[in-house]
Amino acid sequence: MAVNKTKANLRRRRMREFLDQVKANKMALTGTIVLAFFVLTAIIGPFFFPFDVMEFGNVEDILQPPGPGHILGTDDMGRDVLGYLIAGSRVSLLVGALATLLCMVIGTIIGIVAGYSGKAVDNILMRITDFFLVIPWLPLMMVLAAILGTSIWNIILVIGVTSWAGTARVVRAQTLSVRERQFVERTVSIGAGSGHIMLYHILPNVFPLVFASTILVAAAAITSETTLSFLGMGDPAHASWGMMLHYAFETGATSTGAWWYFLPPGICVVAVVLAFTLMGYAFDEILNPKLKER
Amino acid sequence: MDKKRIAKKLVYAFITIFFVLLFNFFLFRVLPGDIVSMLSRGGKATPEMLANIRKMYGLDLPWYQQFFVYLKNLSAGDLGVSFMYKKPVLDVIGARILPTVVLLGVAEIFAILIGIVFGIVSAWKRGKALDTGLLSTSLLLYSMPTFWLGMMLILIFCVYLKVLPISGMVTPGRLFVDQWAQLQDILRHMILPMICLTLGMIGEYAITMRSTVIDVLSEDYITTAKAKGFSDGYVLRRHAMPNAMLPMITLIAINLGMIVGGAIQVETVFSWPGLGSLMYNALVNRDYPLLQGVFLLSTVAVVFANFLSDILYEMVDPRVRSMGG
């Protein structure tokens, strides 16, 4: 028990040190604040700005520049851009989050199984991982999206099954080192099965790394959703930032100079992706001792 | 260099390409719009007719035989016929390669040069205002969807300033006095997509370069070199740079392989008649044979680029060689 307690204390202290470093690191702090803002908007925003994609505005409301009544103007269907934007934040963030979750689950399972099993299983799984790592992501996603058809769930699925390879590599590398530690050997000697060891002993030890790579995968997932939707593979029944950009481009808002239609969703995407990137970058500096200033 | 290792890498590359082919074959086999279901949708085709069509396209054979036929056709350069253009896929793709290669090639060179300079300066001035500025710019560019960057460039240069053409490769309907005038017109059309691609790629190069230079500068041999009394610039050029360039070589090679994938967004926004916009159009019009062809080309290019980067890496980094296996 005593050992467990010191261990818990140590872990808590490490966590506190980590949080202190996050606070001290301006990049990580900025990223966290920006992200928190968008998450909050996505959760409570739609209650204050009810919005329905299928509800079109009046003819005189079409493509009106920002002004009273419509703070950010209206789109080609006479819908309020601000309302669209807020409704879009919900879908964009949700798709990003679920796709990231799927990536993490696939990447972690494949990484742990490959690293722990070794030999042929490892070889085969790593060949598959390399294959997904190598294949250009956008063409692959486009082809898969074309096959599956356009729906939000398919987009999540497409991003999930194509973007896990990086995580699998990181997790495998960590698993290889955890596997060699004594406590695993001890657990094996008292007769624990492979499944038990992977779930209860390897997983908790690779988890911090999974978390670190989650951040960067999330940034990529948001970009992927936006790009796929922009290229016309989004779900027309749901408002997302990518869909907004798609309609803006399709209806020629770019060439007619209707900036209020495509500037705001783009800025939102950049802000969220940048927030994730800043956090990921800062964590890398914190976690990687080699990069610390001498 | 060790011939055995090259051979091994080559075998791996071929295995990957075999998997790419198998994957490509199955992917397009499960497409909802295969020829039989498309014909039977009208309801006018009798079961015998469908069976005949299946036989005609070899769809009644077991899958491994179909795969074999696919490989045989492929080796003869037969990628099928495009629904949209009513021409062999190979010819359609062939006409689109040059515009993409020129556009991507030029943009890539600019991005690499600017990115490397950004990265080195940033790492050297680490923590200073210049570093913060360059790093923020790089991260911002890196976070921007390339197509959105393109839309912004159109807004600025075509709508407000009205100085550059909005899309395409040549001014439609214009007659040229000579080839020089035509080339000028093409170059004018190329400026915006090129700027867009370059800006889109600078971020990744600059960030990678910065972190590898920082990594290398923390090595003991750099401290030794400094202790010997070499000037900072000399240490950076002669001691740090050779090692810092190594990850860049891999990144550059892989990005060169991403030629089709990288071009999709920019070529779509600027209607540049290259492979990227071809893939987009094939997708929008559900032209499956064409889509399959471009997809195959894009994956094979990446595998090839990876193989090249492995070989290059080994040639320039003696450490990899001595590690063996």
CB B117 within 8 A of CB B248: no
CB A52 within 8 A of CB A107: no
Say if residue B35's pLDDT is above 70.
no
Say if residue A292's pLDDT is above 60.
no
pLDDT band at residue A222 under the 50/70/90 scheme: very high
Say if residue B42's pLDDT is above 70.
no
* Nearest residue on chain B to A279, alpha-carbon basis: B139
- The answer on B214 and B69 residing in a single domain is no
CATH code of the domain occupying A2-293: 1.10.3720.10
- With 0-12 CB in 10 A as exposed, 13-18 as middle and 19+ as buried, what is B324? exposed
Chain B residue numbers with beta carbons less than 8 Å from the beta carbon of A143 are: 27, 283, 291, 295
Total length of chain B: 325
Select the more confidently predicted residue: B151 or A203: B151
Task: Note whether B9 contacts A: Cβ–Cβ < 8 A.
Answer: no
C-alpha distances in angstroms, B39 versus A34, A162, B33, B54, B61?
Answer: 52, 32, 10, 11, 19
Please give, rounded to a whole number of angstroms, the shortest distance from the CA of B1 to a CA of chain A: 24
Which residue, among A131, A230, A254, A263, would best test binding to B if mutated, counting the most B CBs under 10 Å from its CB? A254
Residue B255 CB neighbours (<10 A): 21
Among candidate residues B218, B215, B220, B225, the one with its CA nearest the CA of residue B246: B215
pLDDT in the model for residue B324: 43
Among candidate residues A16, A14, A141, A35, the one with its CA nearest the CA of residue A97: A35
Q: Do residue A147 and residue B15 have CB atoms under 8 angstroms apart?
A: no
Indicate if ipTM > 0.90.
no
For residue B81, the cross-strand partners are B88
pLDDT in the model for residue B57: 65
Chain B residue numbers with beta carbons less than 8 Å from the beta carbon of A130 are: 16
* Nearest residue on chain B to A219, alpha-carbon basis: B143
The enclosing H or E element of A148 equals: helix A137-148
Question: Which of A142, A143, A290 lies at the smallest CB-CB distance from B215?
Answer: A290
- The answer on B122 and B95 residing in a single domain is yes
Q: Which domain holds residue B202?
A: 89-321
Task: Report the CATH number at residue B260.
Answer: 1.10.3720.10
Q: Do residue A262 and residue B15 have CB atoms under 8 angstroms apart?
A: no
3-state DSSP of B193-231: HHHHHHHHHHHHHHHHHHHHHHHHHCCHHHHHHHHCCCC
Give, as one character, the DSSP assignment of residue A65.
P
Q: What percent of chain B has pLDDT over 70?
A: 90
Q: Do residue A131 and residue B284 have CB atoms under 8 angstroms apart?
A: no
What is the rounded (10 degree) CA torsion for A105, A106, A107, A110?
Answer: 120
Total length of chain A: 294
- The answer on B256 and B210 residing in a single domain is yes
Domain boundary residue among B53, B83, B113? B83
- The answer on B179 and B55 residing in a single domain is no
**Mean pLDDT across B35-58:** 66
Select the more confidently predicted residue: B73 or A51: B73
The one-letter amino acid code at B135 reads: L
CB B99 within 8 A of CB B276: no
- The answer on B65 and B143 residing in a single domain is no
The one-letter amino acid code at A50 reads: P
- Distance in angstroms (rounded) separating the CA atoms of residues B305 and A108: 28
Which residue, among B9, B24, B34, B143, would best test binding to A if mutated, counting the most A CBs under 10 Å from its CB? B143
For residue A70, the cross-strand partners are A67
Q: Do residue B126 and residue A232 have CB atoms under 8 angstroms apart?
A: no
- Distance in angstroms (rounded) separating the CA atoms of residues B32 and A9: 57
- The answer on B120 and B75 residing in a single domain is no
- Distance in angstroms (rounded) separating the CA atoms of residues B51 and B45: 10
Q: Do residue A139 and residue B19 have CB atoms under 8 angstroms apart?
A: no
Number of domains, chain B: 2
Q: Which residue has the tokens 């490509």?
A: B24
Domain boundaries, chain A: 2-293
Which residue, among B9, B126, B148, would best test binding to A if mutated, counting the most A CBs under 10 Å from its CB? B148
- The answer on B304 and B174 residing in a single domain is yes
3-state DSSP of A101-117: HHHHHHHHHHHHHHHHH
Domain boundary residue among B83, B101, B118? B83
Say if residue B32's pLDDT is above 70.
no
Q: What's the pLDDT tens digit per position in A135-187?
A: 888 888 888 888 787 788 988 998 998 889 888 988 888 888 888 887 877 88
Kindly give the interhelix angle for A259-287 and B129-143, rounded to the nearest 10 degrees: 120
* CA B273 from centroid of its chain's CA atoms: 15
Q: Do residue A255 and residue B258 have CB atoms under 8 angstroms apart?
A: no
**Mean pLDDT across A51-75:** 70
Task: Note whether A219 contacts B: Cβ–Cβ < 8 A.
Answer: yes
* CA B70 from centroid of its chain's CA atoms: 25
Which residue, among A34, A92, A138, would best test binding to B if mutated, counting the most B CBs under 10 Å from its CB? A138
Task: Note whether A153 contacts B: Cβ–Cβ < 8 A.
Answer: no
- The answer on B153 and B15 residing in a single domain is no
- Distance in angstroms (rounded) separating the CA atoms of residues B43 and B93: 34
- Distance in angstroms (rounded) separating the CA atoms of residues B273 and B151: 17
- The answer on B299 and B195 residing in a single domain is yes
- The answer on B45 and B115 residing in a single domain is no
* Nearest residue on chain B to A252, alpha-carbon basis: B151
